[in-house]
Amino acid sequence: MSAPHRLDRGHTDDLMTFLAASPTPYHAVANAAERLEKAGFRQVSETDAWDGSSGGKYVLRGGAIIAWYVPESAAPHTPYRIVGAHTDSPNLRVKPLPDSGAHGWRQVAVEIYGGPLMNSWLDRDLGLAGRLTLRDGSTRLVNVDRPLLRVPQLAIHLDRAVSSDGLKLDKQRHLQPVWGLGDDVRDGDLIAFLEEELGLGAGEVTGWDLMTHSVEAPAYLGRDKELVAGPRMDNLLSVHAGVAALAAVSSGEPPYIPVLAAFDHEENGSQSDTGADGPLLGGVLERSVFARGGSYEDRARAFAGTVCLSSDTGHAVHPNYAERHDPTHHPRVNGGPILKVNVNNRYATDGSGRAVWAAACERAGVPFQSFVSNNSMPCGTTIGPITAARHGIKTVDIGVAILSMHSVRELCGADDPHLLANALVAFLEG
């Protein structure tokens, strides 16, 4: 038997560390910022005046981060090369009145965020993480990364029809997790527990953005460890690759200004102040032009020459459901990143954008595949068309092919993450 083929797994090892440390968008952007700081980037505040200095800079807003590197040779009209991604994933999020329960069980009231595969959340050991806002207006991140909650599935003895009719879940009644026992449900218990976890005083927390996550660690899978199983690959896999690529090009003099734009709220439409359909990216790019002494004409020239790669996960061909895929487009894991095409503009790719992507992959020595949806099935979408339409920027949709998208635990090829990162480096370098 021949030895298994393995590429350098250092990037994928680091991806698994990033996934485990980023249970929420707020943690993801904090971890991204920490990595960029080590590469020489510095945070700039949206409320301060910006200068035209060169170097790496980033803006944090909630669960979004925009980071860019200005070469010393950059002119006010220098175009941007943007890697776009999103930080959010479908999950169960805590309601404003979180304390509930019945029949001797203490529960946490949750709301469905995005479009999760709901059955994948059953019988999982769940932690709780997110952002707490304190009475003084400051925020603190919290991560209870241990088994705290569980959504117990109904025993088959009490639902014999599940074997013949399939599992049917009511989003309101069947997905509320348990976290203890007792008939005396008291308002404020959950937040008081989190205040104690962080060493805060009672009543100090006045606002929260909390969500559940599986505490099972990412892991290599398979006989030859060719696969990776883990949470939130859609789309922290792309965020991680974008951070690595931006850091890699931040010491040279690329002909473009490389940018990472990682947005929140893609899974529910991107319409927020931290989403791709909001003003964040456009405002940052414009302020960068003007800070370097540019005019509106320089801004228009810069945007006209800009290209964005919208990097998001896509669908690998499923061995048990191959008929759900287009018969001539079967992306395989570890076959390289995918170019995503839809003529009805659910993806933003066109022929000229394909040429930009193909050139980057050729320079990087990275193979790529094409993805098109089956004509009989609706096609998903990304931040790509939103970015193209809102900013007038040429945008190309790409990503990594995975299985089990929107599950609490997704599956990708172990080689694909760093193949994507290498292609992004070549793209950003121009």
Answer whether residue 4 shows pLDDT above 50. no
pLDDT at residue 2 in the model: 34
Q: For residue 408, what are its two tokens?
A: 């609490």
Cβ-contact 140, 134 below 8 angstroms:
yes
Residue bearing tokens 């976290």: 179
Q: What are phi and psi of 100, to 5 degrees?
A: -145, -175
Identify whether 345 is preceded by a cis peptide bond (ω within 30 of 0): no
pLDDT-derived band at 43 (thresholds 50, 70, 90) equals very high
Q: For residue 180, what are its two tokens?
A: 């203890």
Between 161-175, 282-296, 300-314, 332-346, the lowest mean confidence (pLDDT) is in 161-175
The structure's pTM equals 0.96
DSSP secondary structure string for all residues of 67-79: EEEE-TT--TT--
Sign of the Cα torsion 276, 279, 280, 284 reads positive
One-letter identity of residue 391: H
pLDDT tens-place string over residues 55-108: 999 999 999 999 999 999 999 999 999 999 999 999 999 999 999 999 999 999
Answer whether residue 153 shows pLDDT above 90. yes
d(CA 73, CA 80): 13
pLDDT at residue 163 in the model: 86
Residue bearing tokens 């002494």: 293
d(CA 221, CA 397): 28
What mean pLDDT do residues 171-186 have? Answer: 94
Q: For residue 302, what are its two tokens?
A: 């810069």
Nearest to 393 by CA among 304, 315, 301: 304
pLDDT-derived band at 7 (thresholds 50, 70, 90) equals low
pLDDT at residue 5 in the model: 43
Q: Mean pLDDT over all residues of the chain? A: 96
Q: Which residues of 12-27 are buried (b: 16+ CB within 10 A; e: fewer)?
A: bbbbbebbbebbbbbb
197-202 long-range contacts (CB < 8 A, ≥24 apart) are: 197/142, 197/144, 198/132, 198/140, 198/142, 200/132, 200/134, 200/140
Answer whether residue 28 shows pLDDT above 70. yes
pLDDT at residue 1 in the model: 31
pLDDT above 90 covers what percent of the chain? 94
